[in-house]
Chain A
Amino acid sequence: MSAEHWTRPSRPEGQAQNGTAPGHPAATSAAPTREQVIAGLRATSEGGADLVQLLTPEGQRVSHPNFDIDITDEQLRGMYRDMVLVRRADREGNALQRQGQLGIWVPLLGQEAAQIGAGRAMRPQDMAFPSYREHGVAWCRGVDPTELLGIFRGTDHGSWDPNTTGMGLYTIVIGNQCLNAAGYAMGQRFEGRVGNAGGDAAENEATIAFFGDGATSQGDVHEGMVWGAVYDAPVVFFCQNNQWAISEPTERQTRVPLYERARGYGFPGIRVDGNDVLASLAVTQWALDECRHGNGPVLIEAFTYRMDAHTTSDDATRYRLDDDIEAWKLKDPIERLRVHLVREQLADQEFLDGVDAEADELAQRFRDFCINMPEPPPERMFSQVYAQESPVVAAQRDDYLQYLDGFADSVAGHNAEGSVR
């Protein structure tokens, strides 16, 4: 596939800077109205001419001239299983927060297809730089869902190893990871891990940065794209446009559809139906291959919807309409693949029941793990602050542990946490 497909027809005179989606019927005057801007931003799977889709909300396979994909029935069933299990763990996370077992949870609901599609497009040697909602990507990288729990229960800041999983730790400051990803990808290029033997060589690598629509307002995302472009870094910028940055809608972030920004940096930008796991897989595979060939970066805007609140601390009913949610329910990523599998006789009831049973087991294991997680010992505060221990930190640790020891005799039977006031 060539990179030419993203080149779009030139606009009529006078519309060069108007910021509306191409082909939008209202785009006739030099300056767009606010309504036109918002309509462009909100172009849905029905209305966005540039949206890549391979599976309709009704579960029908459709073709796309640039992103057709060969996929086995087994892979299709596998992605269905991925999405069901990840959603189940996510719902359990929400429930555990409500029951006081987690301090907070960041729901994934509705974004399963974008993440599983992108995650399954990656090779083991690729590197993912996540934000904090990437439970589906983590799943694809072999990070067990239970390893996410410590962050939200407050026992650690992420327990998996980025070096062995190819999955960076969650990043909470918005957009920081886009620069870290660009730098990592620069390193891949400097080490000669792109462009070898036609791009399919096993040693070729790519990096993918995950961020949201809100992050696109951050300077680091802009700088990440500048760095990625000027150093030809093999980095895919994967924006999950879930329409909301807590309570701020996409039109509070941008005047043009986000994928169109890529043009300004000099690399392709593609909008994919983020509720279509097939399209997400196809587009991300293409983008990663572009990077492996040495043609990176690529910006992907996965057009999706955050069906739950921003976090369990958020009240989404204060800023958005039930109608929107009802409309997006009809585009549910799992349901559309399930319908497709059944209609095409690619999965039978036994398979679907099996996945559900597996989800039940995962939920139970997730829950048990959470409740039984040990409290971190007090010395954990001081552990690994530095690669080479600081004498200052070491002295503070020793003093604090000695201080705690002083309580041992007077309050025997109490743990350290209970004894410190």
Chain B
Amino acid sequence: MAAPTMETSTATPTPTQTITIAKGLNMALRSAMERDPKVIMMGEDVGKLGGVFRVTDGLQKDFGENRVLDTPLAESGIIGTAIGLAMRGFRPVCEIQFDGFIFPGFDQIVSQLSKMHFRSQGKVKLPVVIRVPFGGGIGAVEHHSESPESLFAHVSGLKVVSCSNPVDAYWMLQQAIDSDDPVLFFEPKRRYWEKAELDPTAEPASLFTSKVQRPGAAATLVTYGPMVRTCLDAAKAAEEEGRDLEVIDLRSLSPLDLDPVFDSVRRTGRLVAVSESAPESSVTSEVATRVQQECFYSLEAPVLRVNGFDTPYPPSRLEDGFLPDLDRVLDAVDRSLAY
């Protein structure tokens, strides 16, 4: 896919600046809404409050109540009406407040949103983006820390992406809004306030591609979303022990862009796949399957995985154990290198 050309708008900062992921998303929404009057934002508390994470801060003030909709509290309603609006020619961006609240909208997503293009053989396009703050690590109560992305990656007709840093947040969300396909956009909520430099004049990477975030030769770590930071930290720690790890950010979970992963594994011979989600039948399962199909003769060790567990998300006092951390990642690297 060719990267969409982002026209300069008043919202696009000309000088390089330091931004957070939350700010990058906010700037992306603003830019998309300025470029196209058909882009509308809808969700619970997204208007006056600016969203519970303030990602939509200030948008309703500037674009009005018909473009930034504070909706009734029902997720099927948000997604079901977004489908109708998209059929009318709008490009709705829905905010789901927390990952665990997406399930009341699951029916509309899998029954209608994902299938209408295929059902109509392209006559109906549904350019809907559903933003989902996801993952744990914030000490929250139940339903506020889940990683349901694999459920959606399994659904044909959807595209599923996850950003891991402010620069990707800024570009990927605009590209998702520009996409004529429905996109589930997973945001690493515990990383919302991490900062990076954004150069708005730099050419963005294509949306549905993975990216090598850190080159290395000893073993490959493949991950996405909140675990990219964890894996980069692990790679830094490993470097101090003389181990040179490569870190690949998948960015797109459906479709998966695994060619860079295959290239990497052919060089390193070792792969550790990392995510917060339950491991069984997950994105990391798919990565492991396809890497062993494509790179069987290059592998020096079995593909290993570091995930959450196949349990419901635990009470938050236990989440440090549930979530993969630097030590668990490095332990898997040790096991891989021991073969």
Where the two chains meet, the residues of A that have a C-beta atom closer than 8 Å to any C-beta of B are: 129, 156-159, 161-163, 168-169, 171, 173, 176, 178-188, 190-191, 219-220, 223-224, 226-227, 230, 383-388, 390-393
B72 & A227 in contact (Cβ 8 Å cutoff): yes
Q: Is B157 within 8 A of A179, CB to CB?
A: no
The CA-CA distance from A263 to B108 in the complex, in Å, is: 26
Once bound together, how far apart are the Cα atoms of A392 and B158, in whole Å? 12
A161 pairs with B123, CB closer than 8 A = yes
Q: Are A384 and B121 in contact (CB under 8 A)?
A: yes
* A-B pairs with beta carbons under 8 Å apart, 20 shown: A157-B118, A158-B120, A168-B87, A176-B108, A179-B108, A180-B81, A183-B83, A184-B87, A190-B40, A219-B74, A220-B76, A223-B76, A226-B77, A227-B72, A383-B118, A384-B118, A386-B159, A387-B117, A387-B122, A393-B255
Does B181 reach chain A (CB closer than 8 Å)? yes
Residue in contact with A180 in the complex, picked from B112, B122, B257, CB distance below 8 Å: B112
- Interface of chain A: mostly helix, strand, loop or mixed: helix
- On whether A182 and B81 interact (CB within 8 A), knowing A190-B66, A226-B72, the answer reads yes
Within 8 A of A (CB), among B71-110: 71-72, 74, 76-77, 79-90, 104, 107-108
Most buried by A among B80, B112, B119: B80
Given the known A-B contacts A162-B87, A392-B255, are A176 and B107 also in contact in the complex, defined by CB atoms under 8 Å?
yes
A158–B86 alpha-carbon span in the complex (Å): 19
Q: Is the CB of B81 within 8 A of A169?
A: no
- Contact yes or no, A185 B123, CB < 8 A: no
Q: Please measure, in the bound complex, the distance between the C-alpha atom of A392 and the C-alpha atom of B286, giving whole angstroms.
A: 12
> In the complex, which residue of chain A has the Cβ closest to the Cβ of B112?
A176
- Chain B residues whose CB sits within 8 angstroms of the CB of A220 once the complex forms: 76-77, 80, 107-108
Q: How many Å from the CB of A168 to the closest CB on chain B?
A: 8
Which residues of chain B come closer than 8 Å to A392, judged between CB atoms?
A: 254-256
Does B181 contact A387, Cβ atoms closer than 8 Å? Answer: yes
Considering the complex of A and B, which 5 residue pairs feature the smallest CB-CB distances, nearest first?
A: A183-B84, A179-B80, A187-B88, A183-B81, A387-B180
Interface string of B52-64 (1 = CB under 8 A from A): 0000000000000
> How large, as a class, is the contact surface on chain B?
35 or more
| B119–A186 touching, CB < 8 Å | no
CA distance A90 to B198 in the complex (A): 62
Bound complex: CA of A226 vs CA of B117, how far in Å?
27
A162–B123 CB distance below 8 A: yes
CB-CB under 8 A from B157, the residues of chain A are 385-386
Chain A residues near B338 (CB-CB < 8 A): none
Q: Mark B112-131, 1 if CB is under 8 A from A, else 0.
A: 10011111111111010000
Q: Is the CB of B118 within 8 A of A223?
A: no
Most buried by B among A161, A184, A219: A184
- The answer to whether A183 and B121 touch across the interface, beta carbons within 8 angstroms, is no
Q: Return chain B residues, CB-CB under 8 Å to A180.
A: 80-81, 83-84, 87, 112
The CA-CA distance from A387 to B108 in the complex, in Å, is 19
| Distance between A165 CB and nearest chain B CB, rounded to angstroms | 10
Bound: A8/B40 CA distance, A: 39
CB distance from A227 to the nearest CB of B (A): 5
Contact indicator B80/A183 (Cβ below 8 Å): yes
B139 to nearest A CB, angstroms?
31
Report the nearest B residue to A180, measured CB to CB. B84
Q: How long is the Cα–Cα vector from A188 to B1 in the complex, in angstroms? A: 33
Known: A182-B81, A220-B77, A392-B255. 13 other contacts (CB 8 A): A163-B124, A169-B116, A169-B119, A176-B107, A180-B112, A183-B88, A190-B66, A219-B76, A223-B77, A224-B77, A227-B71, A384-B121, A385-B157
| Cα distance, A184 to B88, chains bound together (Å) | 6
Q: Does B117 lie within 8 Å of A227, measured CB to CB?
A: no
A391: chain B residues within 8 A (beta carbon): 255, 257
What distance in Å separates the Cβ of A356 from its nearest Cβ neighbour in chain B? 35
Whether B156 is near chain A, meaning CB under 8 Å from some CB there, is yes
Give Cα A224–Cα B86 distance, bound, in whole angstroms.
16
Residue of B nearest to A187 (CB): B88
On whether the beta carbons of A182 and B122 are closer than 8 Å, the reply is no
Chain B residues closer than 8 Å to A162, beta-carbon distance: 87, 120, 123-124
Q: B179 within 8 Å of A by Cβ?
A: yes
Which B residue sits closest to A188, measured CB to CB?
Answer: B88
Q: Are A173 and B80 in contact (CB under 8 A)?
A: no
**A-contact bits for B18-61, CB 8 A (1 contact / 0 none):** 00000000000000000000001000000000000000000000
CA of A186 to CA of B88 in the docked complex: distance in angstroms?
9
Instruction: Select which of A156, A169, A179, A226 is within 8 A of B124 by beta carbon.
Output: A169
Contacts of A163 in B (CB 8 A): 123-124
The residue in chain B whose Cβ has the minimal distance to the Cβ of A392 is: B255
With A226-B74, A227-B72 already in contact, the answer to whether A181 and B118 are too (CB < 8 A) is: no
Bound-state CA distance A97–B180 (Å) is 38
B111 contacts the other chain (CB 8 A): yes
Given known A388-B180, A391-B255, contact A183–B82 (CB-CB < 8 A): yes
CA distance A162 to B31 in the complex (A): 31
Query: Which residue in A157, A187, A385, A393 is a CB contact (below 8 Å) of B85?
Result: A187
Assembled-state Cα–Cα distance A180/B157 (Å): 18
Taking A384-B118, A386-B157 as contacts, is the C-beta distance between A173 and B180 under 8 angstroms? Answer: no
B253 to chain A, nearest CB (A): 11
The residue in A161, A188, A230, A386 that gathers the most chain B C-beta atoms within 10 A of its C-beta is A386
Chain A minimum-CB-distance residue to B156: A385
0/1 per residue, B214-253, Cβ < 8 Å to A? 0000000000000000000000000000000000000000
Return chain B residues, CB-CB under 8 Å to A386. 117, 157, 159, 181
Q: Complex Cα distance A354/B107, Å?
A: 47
A224 pairs with B181, CB closer than 8 A? no
Complex Cα distance, B116 from A224, in Å, reads 19
Task: Point out the residue from A169, A224, A390 that lies within 8 Å of B80, measured CB to CB.
Answer: A224
Question: What's the nearest-Cβ distance from chain A to residue B316, in Å?
Answer: 30
Is B119 touching A157 in the complex (CB atoms < 8 A)? yes
Give CA–CA (A364, B111) in the complex, Å: 35
Whether A179 pairs with B76 at a CB distance below 8 angstroms is yes
A67–B220 Cα distance when bound, in Å, is 73
CB nearest neighbor in B for A168: B87
Give A219 to B77 CA distance when docked, in angstroms.
9
Cβ contacts under 8 Å, B112 to chain A: 171, 173, 176, 180
Residues of B within 8 A of A383 (CB): 118, 121
> In the complex the two chains form, is B159's CB within 8 Å of A227's CB?
no
